[in-house]
Structure 1
Amino acid sequence: MISSFKKWAILPLLAGMALSTSVHAERLSISTWGSPLHPQVKVFIPAFTEALKENSKDAFRLRVFQGGEMVKQEFVATAIPQGTVDISLTTLDTWSGRVSDVSILTSPLWNKSMQWTQSHLLPGQPIFEYFNEKFKEQGAVILAMFDIGPAVVASRDPIALPKDIKGHSIRVYSRGAGLIIQELGGSPVTMGVGDVYSALQRGTIDGAMGGLGGAVGLKYYEVAKYMLAQNGVIGSLVHAYVMNKDKYDKLSPELRKALEDAVASARGTMQQALIDTYAKQVDEVRQAGNVVTELTPGTPDWKIWEAALQNLSTSARQSYPSQLVELVSAN
């Protein structure tokens, strides 16, 4: 039996061990932007937090910054390589100034469904590894890629066909989206997601191209009475969670695996939630009083859009590396 004296001697030692564990816990920061109701935030962050704690046996101390509190959407491509934050949600095409190839994801060449991307935009898959290598050259590592669905256009005037965009100012979220609007005769306008509502309300812009989740979460339907749900004919929105490469490389193999497994688990749950949510959100916009135009592959209207973007598609095939075009063109 341990004497009372020995018990009292051991207690400070145990307390010191616990303190040491806490002090040496790996600190990690993660940043998001946009509506906190988006599945890529609302579903991913809690699932990731729980899985990371369990996988690492509480070896990480995670701090979460939401709603652009730490880094706004348009500055992620600078903030991650600089180490302003360790991990961040990002729209991949906003990295086009550093990794020009990502613009293919918002080009007419990218016509993949959310179901396809669910199983193909994973670590070890060719497209994931292609882009991850490019990002590593820029001081970042891709932890997860996922499809939030085809971009929509919320507008003050009806947009059903390519001719309806001509002469209108449309907010875009990236260079690739801007090229599409420009090709169709519109004027692309770049602005942060938080400024779109007031710009639509004042008539500073005629429409806004972006994710359906953002349009619903930020209630664009209150100030824009029309929506085009284009279902991929003008590209989709591929997002990611990316990490500062130096921080990633410094993790022990055990902690790196715990992190990667937590991301994979949370990504799987989130991507399914995005798929389940998309159709419901289109209905929500209708119920709010918007006129929604949905394009369906193979229909006459779909073919009109394809024809209008044919020159841009041809140019894209010639401007991107043949290896990448082959990867994107594969089924």
Structure 2
Amino acid sequence: MNKKLVALFSILFFVVIVLAACGGESEDASSEEGNDDGSSEETVTLTLAENHPDDYPTTVGDKKFAELVEEKTDGRYEIEVYSGGQLGEESEVLEQVQLGTIELARVNAIPLTEFSESIGVLSMPYLFEDEEEKWEKLNGEVGQDLLGTLDGSGLVGLTFYDSGERSFYNNVRPVETPEDMEGLQLRVQSSDLAIAIVESLGASATPMEYGEVYSALQTGVIDGAENNFPSYYTSNHYEVAEYFTVNGYQGTPEVLLGSQDLWDDLSDEDKEAFKEAAMESVDVQREAWAELTEEAREAVTENGSELIEVSDTEEWREAVQPVYDEYGDQYSEWIDRFTE
């Protein structure tokens, strides 16, 4: 073979190699850019703010929600949960969610009354007959309609999470009936409704920061307070207030929510996926809450607390009727729907 033919074959071989390489690069680029219809397969990463620790029940619920969203959207959306208040306190987080700088958050329902007065109904005493009725209503149509009252605030309510039932505890005497509350000085949250509830039961209400309660109990500034079992235990209040009346007078839930900016960017299909994921995460969150409550209950009992079980709350419900007389008109529509 003469030199000209050798050169020609060499050139042809080089051209084939180059074309093959270019074809491979074109195929790779196409798979990265998306499908033939132009849609992108790139994963969108979202942020969810949580102010409780990593192993707390609401955080457990957040993580299950994130897992389900990724699963239901075939990996197109990934949610990173920032627990322990890394992104700020609830008030700061709510502002960021409204602005769209944080896409998702878990907050208590109480601060949401700033954006929807109607949500305040969830703090009314003895609103539900029992836990079964409560969660049937919150997970049902009326609960979703209540979340819908956030429309126009820049916030979108996805579902409710459990935060337990609040009860009274003190260091003076066992409290079995409303009459036993007479004369007790109890710490409450700084809200007119919280004060009205305690005073309707014959006790005196003292609004106070939560961090001051232990020393106030210890020094006799107050006789007692109110909260759920996990808080009673983790705050060590059981050390200075040994009588815990298990009567679950109030159970304001937590709320998982998103920003309006995020919601407007989602397709109808993805909105449905996010809603389904939120609702399906509730059982996991509530199971984690039940386990934590039982652990706290056992711990305070072992450490000497006396638990006074109230099996019939009828007389307690009658005692707080003045609260319904005062606030009933404000929440009448929702009280009717939750109790019908």
TM bucket (normalised to shorter chain) is 0.7 to 0.9
What corresponds to 1:101 in structure 2?
A: 118
What corresponds to 1:186 in structure 2?
A: 204
Alpha-carbon distance, 1:16 to partner? 4.9
Corresponding letter in the other structure for 1:99: S
**Secondary structure of the equivalent of 1:85?**
coil
**Secondary structure of the equivalent of 2:63?**
helix
The 5-angstrom pairing of residues 98-137 of structure 1 reads: 98-122=115-139, 125-137=140-152
CA distance in 2, matches of 1:174, 1:67: 26
2:224 corresponds to which of 207, 210, 213: 207
The 5-angstrom pairing of residues 288-299 of structure 1 reads: 288-297=303-312
Aligned partners of 1:121 and 1:146 also within 8 Å: no
Corresponding position: 1:306 with 2:324:
no
Corresponding position: 1:33 with 2:44:
no
What corresponds to 1:177 in structure 2?
A: 194
Aligned length: 317
Q: Deviations along 1:124-159, whole A, 9 cap, x unmatched?
A: x33213312211132211111134332133444446
2:106 corresponds to which of 89, 92, 96: 89
1:57 corresponds to which of 60, 68, 74: 74
What corresponds to 2:283 in structure 1?
A: 268
Structure 1 unpaired stretches of 5+ = none
Aligned partners of 1:114 and 1:148 also within 8 Å: no
CA distance in 2, matches of 1:287, 1:326: 41
What's the Cα RMSD here? 3.5
Assess, with a 3 A threshold, how the Cα gap between structure 1 residues 26 and 306 changes in structure 2: closer, same or farther: same
CA distance in 2, matches of 1:186, 1:75: 32
**Secondary structure of the equivalent of 2:159?**
strand
Corresponding position: 1:315 with 2:326:
yes
CA distance in 2, matches of 1:135, 1:12: 45
The 5-angstrom pairing of residues 210-249 of structure 1 reads: 210-231=227-248, 234-249=249-264
Aligned partners of 2:126 and 2:317 also within 8 Å: no
What corresponds to 1:286 in structure 2?
A: 301
CA distance in 1, matches of 2:310, 2:76: 48
CA distance in 2, matches of 1:136, 1:34: 26
Select the structure of larger CA radius of gyration: 2
CA distance in 2, matches of 1:222, 1:47: 35
**Secondary structure of the equivalent of 1:149?**
coil
1:259 corresponds to which of 274, 284, 293: 274
Assess, with a 3 A threshold, how the Cα gap between structure 1 residues 179 and 66 changes in structure 2: closer, same or farther: farther
Assess, with a 3 A threshold, how the Cα gap between structure 1 residues 152 and 317 changes in structure 2: closer, same or farther: same
CA distance in 2, matches of 1:90, 1:112: 25
What corresponds to 1:329 in structure 2?
A: 339
CA distance in 2, matches of 1:120, 1:237: 13
Structure 2 unpaired stretches of 5+ = 1-16
Corresponding letter in the other structure for 2:335: V
Q: Deviations along 1:204-243, whole A, 9 cap, x unmatched?
A: 6543423333333444434543322213xx2223221122
CA distance in 1, matches of 2:330, 2:126: 12
Aligned partners of 1:94 and 1:175 also within 8 Å: no
Assess, with a 3 A threshold, how the Cα gap between structure 1 residues 274 and 218 changes in structure 2: closer, same or farther: same
* TM-score scaled by length of structure 1: 0.79
Assess, with a 3 A threshold, how the Cα gap between structure 1 residues 280 and 9 changes in structure 2: closer, same or farther: closer
Alpha-carbon distance, 1:289 to partner? 2.1
Aligned partners of 1:172 and 1:209 also within 8 Å: no
Identity of aligned residues (%): 19
Aligned partners of 2:200 and 2:323 also within 8 Å: yes
Aligned partners of 2:167 and 2:250 also within 8 Å: no
**Secondary structure of the equivalent of 1:237?**
coil
**Secondary structure of the equivalent of 1:153?**
strand
Assess, with a 3 A threshold, how the Cα gap between structure 1 residues 11 and 88 changes in structure 2: closer, same or farther: same
**265-274 or 202-211, larger mean C-alpha shift:** 202-211
